[in-house]
Structure 1
Amino acid sequence: MTGERRYHLTLEEQCRMFRLLATMMGAAIGLSESFFLLESGEDSPRRSYVFLKIHIHLSQGHSLSSSLAKASNSFSPKVIAMIRLGEETGALARCIEALAADLEAEWNAVRDVRASLVYPLSVAMIALAAFGGLFAFLLPRMFELLRSLNAPIPPLLNLGLLSYDFLVHPLTLFALSQLALGIYLMFRKLRSRSDFELKRDQLLLELPLVGSLSLQVNAFRFASGLATMLRAGCPVLRGVKLLIPGITNRYLAHLAGLTLRDIREEGSSVSEAMRARGLFTPPFHFMLHSGEESGKTEEVLRVIASFYKSRYEETLLVIVSLLEPAVLLCLGFAVGFLALGFFLPLMNVIGRI
């Protein structure tokens, strides 16, 4: 309906919903009744509203795939397609079970990335706040105290105060605001170009650690998602097509689209087309080719997903191990600045008294 409210479900909430739905279907509970039970036991008005809308659409005779699409815009084309595939093949329960497992694996990957970065980013924010407080409040008072004692102003402290005065000057603030506005407008103009995001994400892949992490996470999600679709009986071409919108890096998604076109036009295998286009890394191509040759593509894709999961976990550990000492080094610099710029001159003044 026009103007109908469509609430969003997070990835974690979708995992929980499909897991509970798979459990209830295993207990021979119907779809409409399952969503009624989900809605009845929900304490969140947002989630309760989504479950109620799905229940209403199911009660009106709509399929589960169309009910999900009408009730919320949270569900990706992959999710809708897998549900529709289960409805077409009569294996809906198996598709929902496979979908729940795939979404859980995807959520675990997202949670690992977030959890690994929470501590270093929190410390970095505290350090930034400490630097801001140092320059905005402590530094001017230190300067006034030393001047009242007729103590020589250390060059380091004087430089810091001059830098602070320069940054807070109205003309400097105006110039910085104009510079920020110019950068914003230039960025908006660049974003309007069709190839901007493609080139940006291509450059992102070239960055050390961050590029590797993006590549490994997308390879894990692609392999895990394709294995889940094959397990549910989805044709490989359809599976690749449905997974492309879920690739977060635009350049990798572009390569995946070219790979799909090569498979259709040239009749090559998935591994050959991926290797020709440079989608993901050689280990992915070699292992997938082995699976295609042996007829165990789904099993090999699970192995590939596990391989890249371990790789991105290792990359996360490296990033965190580099962030923590960098933040501590900045904090040490702040402490050293205080000691050299204020306390040593203050001790000299006290020593002369």
Structure 2
Amino acid sequence: METGNETLSTDFILLGLFPGMRHTGLLVSVVLLIYTIAITGNTTLILLIWVDPHLHTSMYFLLSQLSLIDLAFISSIVPKMLVNFFSGNRKISLIGCGIQIFFTLTLGIAECLLLTLMAYDRYVAICNPLKYPIIISHQVSQKMAIGSWVGGTLASLAHTAYTMHFPLCGPRELHDFFCEVKAILKLSCEDISAYEKGVVVTSTVVVLLPISFILTSYTLIFLQVLQINSREGRSKALATCSSHLTVVIFYYGPPMLIYMRPGSYHTPILNQALFMFDTILTPMLNPLIYSLRKKEVLRSMKKVLRKCAIQNRLPCFND
């Protein structure tokens, strides 16, 4: 039913992962497995940091916040996608779509800000190790985390409100597995070219400024590392940064390809693949990267497992 050019329906249709693909069921099963690993990995990392006093440092507090964001990020997308697939009902309400956009933007921007602040944390730890406890105190790390959440919330609120106020026309089919700003804008009845350009500019600023800050931090870190005479000291210094740098590459790569490419180079299949990597794979990889590369995390995990084996009872996280 339509009045003029504007549809009266308030529901959207999420066409899901790679519409038309023959083996979608197999792909969804893989996504379910990835989701399970992501939930398990991030929850385990948060619990380890919480229960082990040796991990009660600013760096690991920020890491626990990163895991919390990843946990919420993937959970804001995958459960709805799985329900739609297994139920056969691919609808999502206007309010539900707006809520999903708000949470994904909030969590995505918060992670962007947190990764940038974590680069500064690594810079201080290596370039000013004696002043690190003063510069990055527990109170400062808490303010970093709060600032990331608040910044993500405010930016997301503005974008979500402005995106959802446009009148929509025609069939409300979204060629994606979740509600996303650019997909909604394609359905608008109005000329939104100016706003789309604004989104590109905003995305570029949001990505390039943190990237520039991170690159500057790591340039200073590497210059400092080159001055370390001990090979063991250089290896230890680089090891403290390698996990974070790997996560930064994984996190920033897909958004840069999605939002900073000219429109003529956008294809639905490539965009979906990039969105899958950023919203589903990265939250699973982050805890694995930090767990495998950080000796303190592995040591804490072994200690907890040893305690479980000795006590032979649950819960394993009791003091």
TM-score (norm 2): 0.33
* Greater fraction of residues in helix: 1
Structure of larger gyration radius:
1
Higher relative contact order (CA 8 A, sep 6+): 2
* Greater fraction of residues in strand: 2
